[in-house]
Chains A and B, each alone.
Chain A
Amino acid sequence: MSSISRDEVAHLARLARLDLEPDELEHLAGQLDQIIGAVAQVSEVAADHIPPTSHALPVTNVFREDVLRPGLTADAALAGAPEAEDGRFRVPQILGEEQ
């Protein structure tokens, strides 16, 4: 049985704002299923005494002082922007609601 349905892939695609054709959904569902299956092998060897790991290094509390560091000028910041206007990044019409 596959671990991810076509509908779930369609849902994820919608969240990622990807417009996928039906055959692409089918294709990706199969691929994702294989990936999930491969990763799932970890849970076979992970016994109860092994806590889930989110970070590979046993390091905590890496901080910086609250001190200013030079950043970019507006020109430099906008240099790579496809479009800019009045010192701001210009983006196409936003679909959907205000966040």
Chain B
Amino acid sequence: MSTAIALPTFEDVIARFDPVMGMEVHVELGTVTKMFCGCSTAFGAEPNTQVCPTCLGFPGSLPVVNQMAVESAIRIGLALNCTIAEHCRFARKNYFYPDMPKNYQISQYDEPIAFDGWTEVTVDTADGAQVFRIGIERAHMEEDTGKSLHVGGATGRIHGASHSLLDYNRAGIPLIEIVTKPIEVDPALAPAVARAYVTELRELIRALGVSEARMELGQMRCDANVSLKPRGATVLGTRTETKNVNSLRSVERAVTYEIRRQATVLDAGEKIVQETRHWHEDTGETTPGRVKEEAEDYRYFPEPDLVPVAPSRDWVERLRGTLPEPPAARRARLQSEWGFTDLEMRDVVNAGALGLVAETIAAGADAAGAKKWWLGEIARTANERGVGVEESGITPAQVARVEELINDGALNDKLARQVVEGVLAGEGSPDEVVAARGLAVVSDESALASAVDDAIAAMPDVAEKIRGGNMGAVGALIGSVMKATRGQADAKRVRELIVQRLTA
């Protein structure tokens, strides 16, 4: 959809309106089997090869709850400072759509397993880092739906399709839906806070080890609820729910777009329609989807095929004991271990490279070296390709190996950059790139010595200056030697050789 009217700027809108946000994040758990049956959850299998009578909704089949999924849900709830229900039920959410073969989805409705929690997120502002507490309304268990392929229409959209094809491998994979309380912050920071929340949640989920939470694989999916109220108003505005917001960057962009779009509608004296909207990464716009069905239209009722879940307090406390260090505490600890400034640490976190830098250091690299690569060469390449640093094609162990080669004197900085470039280009491991590109530092002492002698002979006036004590002139000779060795000499050793010859 192209809007004919230009949207007001974000700055203009937030000078007049207060946005209120609510985030709903679905996380696919990394359990081996599905929520209610023993089918595999592995990604990428041939269609309908990870299915059984239960997840296909065959008559007479019965669901049985995956204990690991319940444990993961409780651990997520605890990590989000929630209360864990002493007793909760599953519910049937009834709707007709072929992505659920049963014609209902088993979910939780009025009795979520975890509720009333909070988490803290940090956002960079002009006045330094600011911490926001985000309230968590609930985290509940449900099952994922199948995947539809719409055939015959344009670009796989449902409109104009002649028919659809269904793959139920994903149907029944455990999902945890995490819903925030309304988020009202400094309007200027609203989109950044939304992004920071999803970033924090992803980090937390990964730290818990309950999911890889890879947004590009749909393992973590975000819906953003946004409403506007005129400055000073107390009544909440009508909200829209933007779906399909599936990258961290999109979270920020979609919230910003929706704030501006709603202001346009309100400025024109019209009403916001309560509806689902779809986010389009390519155009940076949202378009209307279905008008939100009232909750009661799903005709929720307690799932008769499953008995309630009643986690004993013992069990909950045992699970609390398995929680990892909270992300904020971990960041603080790592920052002091690595000796990074606040700014350096923030750069690492904002680049999504905290885990990668930590792994690189664990693999033997020093902190400064690890940071330099992940925020430099690798971030640049990932950015150019439009992927996250974790998908750049180089592993922490490989980065640590490059650093090791530098420390051993086998590579200088310039050669190391070429090695990293080669690994990123898919040419193999650092050692393979070194071998294939012939990138080893010239360590043949006699070859180096003769290159130094040649340089001195070619630049007698420079040599004279050095003899006269002008050490600033050494750089010119080093440059000449590096040129002659096509950058493959160890610059430190070249300097030593020059100084030996001219000042002895």
A85 to B31, CA, bound (A): 29
Task: Look across to chain B and name the residue whose beta carbon is closest to the beta carbon of A63.
Answer: B67
The B interface is mostly helix, strand or loop, or mixed, namely: loop
A98 in complex: contacting residue of B50, B96, B158, B168, CB < 8 Å: B158
Interface string of B266-289 (1 = CB under 8 A from A): 000000000010100000000001
Q: In angstroms, how far is the closest chain B Cβ from the Cβ of A70?
A: 8
Query: Are A71 and B38 within 8 A (Cβ)?
Result: yes
Task: Flag if B39 contacts A98 (CB, 8 Å).
Answer: no
A interface with B by C-beta (< 8 Å): 15-17, 54-55, 57, 59-74, 77-78, 85-94, 96-99
Docked pose: A77 CA to B304 CA in angstroms: 25
The CA-CA distance from A91 to B168 in the complex, in Å, is 13
A69 to B66, CA, bound (A): 12
Do B167 and A88 touch across chains, with their CB atoms under 8 A apart?
yes
Verify A17–B163 contact, CB threshold 8 A.
no
B147 CB to nearest chain A CB (Å): 9
Is there contact, CB below 8 Å, between B308 and A60? yes
Contact A64 B51, beta carbon cutoff 8 Å:
no
Complex Cα distance, B409 from A59, in Å, reads: 68
Q: Is the CB of A69 within 8 A of B38?
A: yes
- Chain A residues with CB under 8 A of B50: 71
CA distance A66 to B66 in the complex (A): 6
- B51 near A77: Cβ-Cβ < 8 Å: yes
Segment from B41-49, B198-206, B317-325, B331-339 that makes contact with A:
B41-49
**How far is A67 from B47 in the complex, measured between Cα atoms in Å?**
21
Question: Can you name 11 A-B residue pairings with CB atoms under 8 Å?
Answer: A15-B299, A63-B66, A63-B67, A66-B69, A78-B48, A88-B48, A88-B149, A91-B98, A93-B161, A94-B164, A97-B158
Q: Do residues B162 and A93 form an inter-chain contact, with CB atoms below 8 A?
A: yes
Given known contacts A64-B64, A77-B56, is B304 in contact with A87 (CB within 8 Å)? Answer: no
Within 8 A of A (CB), among B96-122: 96-99
Residues of B within 8 A of A69 (CB): 33, 37-39, 52
Query: Which residues from chain B contact A15 at a C-beta distance below 8 Å?
Result: 94, 96, 297, 299
**B457 located at the interface, meaning its Cβ lies under 8 Å from any Cβ of chain A in the complex:** no
Least distance between B174 CB and chain A CB atoms (Å)? 9
Q: Mark B15-50, 1 if CB is under 8 A from A, else 0.
A: 000000000000000011100011110000011111
CB of B433 within 8 Å of the partner chain: no
- CB of B307 within 8 A of CB of A87, answer no
Judging by beta carbons under 8 Å apart, are B163 and A93 in contact? Answer: yes
Give the CA-CA distance A63 to B40 in the complex, in Å: 17
- Chain A contact residues, majority secondary structure: loop
The complex places the Cα of A77 from the Cα of B51 at a distance, in Å, of 7
Q: Tell whether, in the assembled complex, residue A88 and residue B32 are in contact, meaning their CB atoms are under 8 Å apart.
A: no
A62 touches B64 (CB 8 A): yes
By a CB distance below 8 angstroms, the chain A residues around B329 are none
The 9 closest A-B pairs by CB, nearest first: A69-B38, A71-B52, A97-B290, A66-B68, A54-B302, A63-B67, A88-B165, A60-B310, A89-B166
- Are B64 and A74 in contact, with the CB atoms below 8 A? no
Q: Tell me how far the C-beta of B96 lies from the nearest C-beta in chain A, rounded to whole angstroms.
A: 5
A17–B221 alpha-carbon span in the complex (Å):
29
Is residue B326 contacting chain A, with contact meaning CB distance below 8 A?
no
CA distance A74 to B167 in the complex (A): 10
The smallest beta-carbon distance between B105 and chain A, in angstroms, is 10
Taking A61-B310, A66-B68 as contacts, is the C-beta distance between A72 and B53 under 8 angstroms? yes
17 more A-B residue pairs beyond the given contacts A66-B69, A71-B40, A88-B149, with a C-beta to C-beta distance below 8 A? A15-B297, A17-B96, A59-B307, A60-B309, A61-B311, A62-B306, A62-B307, A66-B32, A67-B33, A69-B52, A74-B49, A89-B48, A89-B98, A90-B166, A97-B289, A98-B157, A99-B145
Do residues B51 and A72 form an inter-chain contact, with CB atoms below 8 A? yes
B133 adjacent to chain A (CB < 8 Å): no
**Contacts of A98 on B, CB cut-off 8 Å?**
157-158, 278, 289-290
Residues of B contacting A87 in the complex (Cβ-Cβ under 8 angstroms): 46-49, 167
Most buried by A among B48, B98, B278: B48
**How far is B56's CA from A72's CA once the two chains are assembled, in angstroms?**
10
For B290, give the chain A residue with the smallest CB separation: A97
Contact A61 B309 (CB under 8 A): yes
By a CB distance below 8 angstroms, the chain B residues around A66 are 31-33, 66-69
Chain A residues whose C-beta falls within 8 Å of the C-beta of B449 in the assembled complex: none
**In the complex the two chains form, is B165's CB within 8 Å of A85's CB?**
yes
Closest chain-B Cβ to A46's Cβ sits at a distance in Å of 16
Closest to B303 in A: A54
B260 within 8 Å of A (CB atoms): no
Is B87 at the interface (CB under 8 A from chain A)?
Answer: yes
Q: Output the nearest chain A residue to B89 by Cβ-Cβ distance.
A: A54
Q: What residues of chain A lie closer than 8 Å to B406, measured between beta carbons?
A: none
Distance between B273 CB and nearest chain A CB, rounded to angstroms: 13
Q: In whole angstroms, what is the CA distance A77 to B69 when docked?
A: 25
> Is the C-beta of B349 less than 8 angstroms from some C-beta in chain A?
no
B491 contacts partner chain A, Cβ-Cβ < 8 Å: no
Rounded to whole Å, the gap between the CB of A32 and the closest CB of chain B is: 14
Bound-complex Cα distance A60 to B86 (A): 11
Cβ of A91 to closest chain B Cβ, rounded Å? 5
Task: Using A55-B304, A57-B307, A68-B38 as known contacts, say yes or no to A73 and B96 having CB atoms under 8 A apart.
Answer: no
* Residue in contact with B65 in the complex, picked from A17, A64, A78, A91, CB distance below 8 Å: A64
A62 to B62, CA, bound (A): 12
